[in-house]
Structure 1
Amino acid sequence: MKMSSSASTGPSAPLNTGSRMPLLGLGMYKLCGGEAVLQAVDASLAAGYRAFDSAAVYRNEAELGHALKELLPKYGLTREDVFITSKLSPKDQGKGAMEGALHSLSNLGMDYIDLYLIHWPGTQGLDVTDKCNPGNRAQSWAALEELHAQGKLKAIGVSNYTPAHMRELMGSCKVHPAVLQVEFHPLECQTELRSVCQEFGVRFQAYTSLGRGELLTDPHVLQVAETCKRTPAQVLLRWAVQQGVPVLPKSSTPERIRENARIFDFTLSDSDMAKLSALDRGHKFCWDPSQVV
């Protein structure tokens, strides 16, 4: 996969919309409070981050919008220089999707969102086996397609979809999803999902790259980190971006934010890449969507 790099945007990967997604973004899960968000966004912009990943359920869309409005001029940047992702709450899945997406736009205080995802294939309040889930997903997607046509959502996609959910969507959608965002790290290499994304021209994106911190002490990861004189976090993030997979490490600590950005000035050897990929055993640290019908 060809990647581009420039001083203003950093390394990025193409989407099927014709736009590009930065390979590095700040994950904002559990980042709460105006001052904490402001500090994290400030440190991220200073370190070269140009993508920010929020969600309705994170309850920090408004704080992100305020932080960017205040900080972009400080770095000589405009709204067009950053890539903003947010996600539809599972409580709005189905008939509430249009209102939910517009609420995200309002919270962010923006005219458009670069990427908006269906956060979860199920519906809050329904059992995972409830046969209303497929219909609700389809209704949500139709609402996102409408907002995409209006230019309010520049790209639309999904998160936590399985291969079955992806094939279902591809069989009925008018607008192809631009991105699938799922858990991805050496213990969960998502081979089938990546193949499905490649088949349909969907950009595969990672979250939980560090295994909620547990992978930072894995002996195999530590060994690779020692070999290349990098931190375990940098090794894990590099493992993904070296495969063309965008990452969203989350942190509220400026030093850690800067450290996580230093992943584009070294390369893992083929043997180290293979060593990490060989750890795959389909292990998830987060929720498992495989039971959602």
Structure 2
Amino acid sequence: LFIPISSVLLNTGARMPLLGLGTYRLQGTEDTYRAMDAALTAGYRAFDTAAVYRNEADIGRALRILLPKHRLSRGDVFITSKLSPKDQGCKARDGCMRSLEQLGLDYIDLYLIHWPGTQGLHVEDKQNTGNRSQSWETLEEFHAEGKFCAIGVSNYTTRHMQELLRGCRVFPAVLQVEFHPRLAQRELRVLCEESGVSFQAYSSLGTGVLLSDPVVQEVAARCERTPSQVLLRWAVQQNVPVLPKSRQPSRVQENGRLFDFELSDSDMVQLSALDCGQRFLKDFYFIM
């Protein structure tokens, strides 16, 4: 049974699928091809990569083979990539061009600044603010040229978002951050909603730790679903796009089965009550 996958409307007027394949740690031509083939078979139409994942070229090659195989065209898939922290500031244009070249695409659907900080700079270094601003201006130029259909940011805090929204000419379309029942990100979600920015989740499974959470397991047993499906459904039921990642085709397909069931109101409340501000992914760039 093929269930159509829903999408969210971006402030650009384009639609972004609620489900995409996260490709962090997906390495090598064969693994990349197999995971993406399984994803397209399961109905995924979005793929999320980044310069720091070092797999943009593998993803581009796989797309060139898989789109004809699945009778799809370039416009049927939504591709996201991200600027490396080492390319923040004056190197941003080179970083953006490199992503387009590595992917072998004329345009990227969504391009993000990956981190608010610059590789090699201390968290307190004032240059970080200027570099963020310069990177964003570069993304705006690529957006104006039609090379990036939408632009946004990843791992920005409320302070970083407020700074960006005050100074930008083009509003960010997306903020991508860690989001799961133990990290509900309420302040950022309110800010995004008020600003017309789409809020997108990564690490929905809490690096796998949440799969063994007793509450998650209890809800999964009651729904006759897997813990991963419950955690992902918790997000998409709030209209938050998710990016589960896996190298295993069977797991990719399992994670895609989110749109043929619903969590009850009490299930949603029980899961949301787990919020305690716990982060599983920490990086010094994040706190700049």
Match of 1:48 among 43, 54, 57: 43
- TM-score with structure 2 length normalisation? 0.98
Match of 2:34 among 25, 35, 39: 39
**Cα distance in 2, alignment partners of residues 287 and 248 from structure 1:** 18
**Cα distance in 2, alignment partners of residues 92 and 10 from structure 1:** 34
- TM-score with structure 1 length normalisation? 0.96
Matched, 1:89 2:84: yes
Single out whichever of 281-290 and 96-105 deviates more from structure 2: 281-290
User: CA offsets, 1:120-164, max 9 Å, x none?
Assistant: 000000011111101000000000000000000000000000000
Which aligned runs of 4 or more in structure 1 are off by greater than 4 angstroms? none
Match of 1:58 among 53, 56, 61: 53
Unpaired segments ≥5 residues, structure 2: none
Match of 1:18 among 5, 13, 22: 13
Do 2:8 and 2:17's aligned partners in 1 also have CA atoms closer than 8 Å? yes
**Secondary structure, counterpart of 1:114 in structure 2:** strand
User: CA offsets, 1:203-250, max 9 Å, x none?
Assistant: 000000001111000000000001111000000000000000000000
Matched, 1:199 2:194: yes
**Cα distance in 2, alignment partners of residues 287 and 245 from structure 1:** 21
Give the count of matched residue pairs: 286
**Secondary structure, counterpart of 1:180 in structure 2:** strand
**Cα distance in 1, alignment partners of residues 82 and 45 from structure 2:** 18
CA RMSD of aligned residues (A): 1.1
Match of 1:146 among 135, 141, 145: 141
**Cα distance in 1, alignment partners of residues 132 and 188 from structure 2:** 18
TM-superposed deviation, 1:8: 9.8
**Cα distance in 1, alignment partners of residues 250 and 63 from structure 2:** 20
TM-superposed deviation, 1:290: 5.3
Matching residue of 2:260:
265
Unpaired segments ≥5 residues, structure 1: 1-6
Matched, 1:277 2:269: no
Matching residue of 1:108:
103
Matched, 1:243 2:238: yes
**Cα distance in 1, alignment partners of residues 81 and 233 from structure 2:** 24
User: CA offsets, 1:167-186, max 9 Å, x none?
Assistant: 00000000000000000000
Matching residue of 2:115:
120
Residue identity in the other structure for 2:66: L
TM-superposed deviation, 1:291: 2.5
TM-superposed deviation, 1:165: 0.2
